[in-house]
Amino acid sequence: MSLAVNLLRLGLSGTALVTVALSLSACETSLYDGPMALTMQKGAAIVAVCVDIEAVTMLGTERSTGSNKWNEFLDADGQLAISSGDTIPVSGDVDGLMAHYYREPSFDPGSEIEIVLLAREVEGYNGDISASFIIQEGGLSEKSWLYPDGSEHQQPCESEG
């Protein structure tokens, strides 16, 4: 559902939405692989972005364990040049983006957090990225970075080589 909401937010018509949703459904599992990582620092959630991107929108949603309903907690628009390895607060001010926070995410174990960065289109390339994180037992750690595949690492943007 959150993908459909995001596509509608971009102003796609109903026909275009169905076409895009159907064309993306075959690879939907790879849509939420980032590259990003998530951690807590001093009690605040931080996302590390592991590619260069010119973001114009940042969205954050959370789904509780066993629920099908996504709850939006962040909607930010503006211009933000992100370099690989940069970190962005999930619930705080972000230079370059005007953020609207609807609520603080719970980060309860088993809940799912989705972060979407919509990019400024450059030379016909749309570099949008998104990541979905399932919060592990014990909550979000301040000692490691959670990757979309569920693994935890000491660094936010370790290569998978």
Domain boundaries, the chain: 1-29, 32-149
Q: What is the CATH number of domain 32-149?
A: 2.60.40
pTM exceeds 0.85: no
Let me know: does 113 contact 40? Beta carbons within 8 Å: no
Whether the CA torsion 61, 129, 82, 57 is positive or negative: it is: negative
Residue 125, pLDDT score? 58
E strand or H helix at 8: helix 2-9
pLDDT along the chain (161 residues), means of 10: 46 36 36 84 92 92 92 93 92 82 89 93 74 92 94 86 39
CA distance 1 to 135: 20
Residue 157, pLDDT score? 92
Residue 66, pLDDT score? 87
